[in-house]
Structure 1
């Protein structure tokens, strides 16, 4: 469904960004179950399919939870409640899931099932059991521990990098800059409206702001504009699809590791973010950044307590020879 979201000047102040390890875990299940295409995560999905298959056998709530997944329709809210900030832990989010009353879970599941083919009786027994909340929470905890947490440092760096840049755009330049390249379905209209797909219903923020939730796995945008959630937009994080294949010519010229740093800076990043993105030590990343900066290939701008590095026009042209120099 599309929306026309009316905003006011106050909504810039009250809008915020959040990173949710629990939502990322649930979205990983969409990929692992084949509900979404793997895209740039294909190699990781192939490695994760074996532990996922074992968890399907071990955790009785996992299969029934995945059976509820459906595109462009309501999905039960309680397995992934709205995140609070950029550093909320998985354990904190999971405790909110476990606190869900069974009656609420059953109500959401019944709504989720509307219009779907009737599941097998064994699945329905789980979905409407008194223990469904604990069964779902146990399944999510196991998927996080065995499949998602090993890649979380890199995933968090991707999401944090997107948040730092996009939140800075919103605060400094306003809605048009923050929404630029968010997704082709989302655009800013000068009359003070965020259009999420044309021809949608009108919604007024009235000072409550928007919650922006980036994801490494989604390819489109999702809107949460019901009272059960803060008004929110989920969107694909920039930089998820940055190639890890270093061109031989570039590696020969500046070295393979420096080439990887330069490729990763297709989206600006801090030193600590690059450490997690590349799996290198702080000293190694700092040394390569100093060399690349000395060669005029990258530059840095201080943001708060850190420095955000990005490629110069010369760095862009070296990575993409078709990019003209100014």
Structure 2
């Protein structure tokens, strides 16, 4: 179960992200690639697995199908180049602590990944090439659709917030979400508890992740809560979001059963 413990100040500082984050969506896309496929992603997953170049595959050594990944890989920046600069400038101590946090005892870490914590130049160059190749293969061509779907989702959530209020909007992020006092719980998610510290929470809808919400505390600033957008990328072209002149409590597009 994922538990997010709010203070009153945090509830006053919940907001939607203004733009999608390329490196966050990249990590989620790669994890979706390795998860048992949701029906809506079957064709996308098959095409992506066939087209993913060998240069991109080292990234898979650092990611888990459960959504667990080192936080320094996916800064919530609105540009790919800006995000890569943030990754390259991550303090070594933070890199080491994140690699230790997500380490899976049953899966030995690749030698090159161990070099990241030691500041090994070749390891960082390999990471840079892998992230760039993965982005070019999976997201660069689809990015206009990702942005369009992101903004449609954000507009719909804003209308939901105006009509139903913050608590209902937050529980609407996942079918299993519920409130327990000042704690937002996602029972079907992974086991983690995060205590917010008054800096608020930023909501990031993802068009490439259809499982439970994920939380990413940031070294500075508000935590990030990633949740599945109602209309994932494979269905985004067919989405018919409500227009501002005709507010609706219905989602932008109905997803397939089992997604």
**TM-score normalised to the size of structure 1?**
0.62
Aligned counterparts of 2:69 and 2:249: Cα–Cα separation in 1:
40
Aligned counterparts of 2:192 and 2:107: Cα–Cα separation in 1:
28
Aligned counterparts of 1:22 and 1:241: Cα–Cα separation in 2:
16
Residue 89 of structure 2, aligned match among 99, 107, 119: 99
1:221-236 correspondence to structure 2 within 5 Å: 221-224=212-215, 226=217, 228=219, 230-236=222-228
Could you tell which deviates more after superposition, 91-100 or 124-133? 124-133
Query: Deviation of residue 97 (structure 1)?
Result: 0.9
1:18-167 correspondence to structure 2 within 5 Å: 18=17, 19-32=20-33, 34-52=34-52, 55-56=53-54, 59=55, 62-72=56-66, 74-81=68-75, 83-84=76-77, 88-119=78-109, 123-128=110-115, 130-131=120-121, 132-167=123-158
1:109-144 deviation line (CA, Å, top 9, x unaligned) = 24432523224xxx3145315033332232111221
Secondary structure of the residue that 1:185 maps to in structure 2? coil
Residue 185 of structure 2, aligned match among 172, 189, 195: 195
Q: Which has the higher helix share?
A: 1
Aligned counterparts of 2:132 and 2:234: Cα–Cα separation in 1:
29
Secondary structure of the residue that 1:264 maps to in structure 2? coil
Residue 242 of structure 2, aligned match among 240, 265, 268: 268
Aligned counterparts of 2:217 and 2:193: Cα–Cα separation in 1:
13
Going from structure 1 to structure 2, the CA distance change for 1:142 and 1:202 (only over 3 Å counts) comes to: closer
* Uncovered stretches (5+) of structure 1, i.e. residues with no partner: 245-259, 270-299, 302-307, 320-326
Going from structure 1 to structure 2, the CA distance change for 1:233 and 1:193 (only over 3 Å counts) comes to: same
Going from structure 1 to structure 2, the CA distance change for 1:65 and 1:163 (only over 3 Å counts) comes to: same
Aligned counterparts of 1:203 and 1:107: Cα–Cα separation in 2:
17
Query: Deviation of residue 152 (structure 1)?
Result: 1.3
**TM-score normalised to the size of structure 2?**
0.76
Going from structure 1 to structure 2, the CA distance change for 1:202 and 1:44 (only over 3 Å counts) comes to: closer
Aligned counterparts of 1:109 and 1:173: Cα–Cα separation in 2:
40
Residue 207 of structure 1, aligned match among 184, 195, 198: 198
Aligned counterparts of 2:235 and 2:113: Cα–Cα separation in 1:
42
Could you tell which deviates more after superposition, 37-46 or 92-101? 37-46
- Superposed CA RMSD in Å reads 3.5
Q: Is the 8 A contact 1:213 1:233 kept in 2?
A: yes
Q: Is the 8 A contact 1:79 1:97 kept in 2?
A: yes
Going from structure 1 to structure 2, the CA distance change for 1:65 and 1:20 (only over 3 Å counts) comes to: same
Aligned counterparts of 1:222 and 1:154: Cα–Cα separation in 2:
21
Aligned residues: 244
When Rg is computed on C-alpha atoms for both structures, the one with the higher figure is 1
* Uncovered stretches (5+) of structure 2, i.e. residues with no partner: 255-259
Which residue in the other structure is 1:291 paired with? none
Query: Deviation of residue 96 (structure 1)?
Result: 0.7
1:24-54 deviation line (CA, Å, top 9, x unaligned) = 112221233x2342531322333333330xx
Secondary structure of the residue that 2:72 maps to in structure 1? coil
Q: Is the 8 A contact 2:3 2:183 kept in 1?
A: no
Which residue in the other structure is 2:167 paired with? 176
